Amino acid sequence: MKNKGLILIEILISITLFFIIIFPLLTFNQKLLLTNRKITLMEKEYKNYQSLRKQLVGQGYEKLRSHIGEYTWNRENCIDDSFLSRIVFPYEIDRNTEFSVEITPVNIVSKDKKYRYIGIKLRYKTDVKNFTSRFLTYGFEEYK
């Protein structure tokens, strides 16, 4: 009888130690998965942003020059004939995703030459992250 009581106490202590160890590991795993999910969402949004940027530059100097102005795109005001509606994203975009593109002509004049560029200001806004960038694109008008 004495031996059975000791075995019962050993079993209770081992179960208690098991739960003391396993609960912190489970909460750590949950936090790790939550962090991984947030990072994955930010990576997807960044890839969508990079895709948007590359496709804007790929539109060409003349097309961008004919669309000088500011354009805003989101799910509610998506217009089929806009040049922004033809942009394809690698990942599905969220309902709250919005981006705006501001296209302006930029002229740089030196003593002997004049350079024409298109300045693009791109703002990509999501629930996860906001991206903003400014860059120049140019055309090869003198070679045509």
Q: Which tens digit of pLDDT belongs to each residue from 43-93?
A: 999 999 999 899 888 888 888 888 888 888 876 766 555 667 778 888 888
Please compute, for residue 89, the number of CA atoms within 13 A of its CA located in the half-sphere on the CB side: 17
This prediction has a pTM of 0.72
The pLDDT score that the predictor gives to residue 43 is 92
Rg, Å, the chain Cα set = 28
Instruction: Find the length of the chain.
Output: 144
Report percent pLDDT > 70 for the chain.
88
Token pair for 29? 């795993």
pLDDT band at 143 (very low <50, low <70, confident <90, very high): very low
d(CA 56, CA 101): 9
Mean pLDDT value of segment 113-126: 89
Q: Is the pLDDT of residue 142 over 50?
A: no
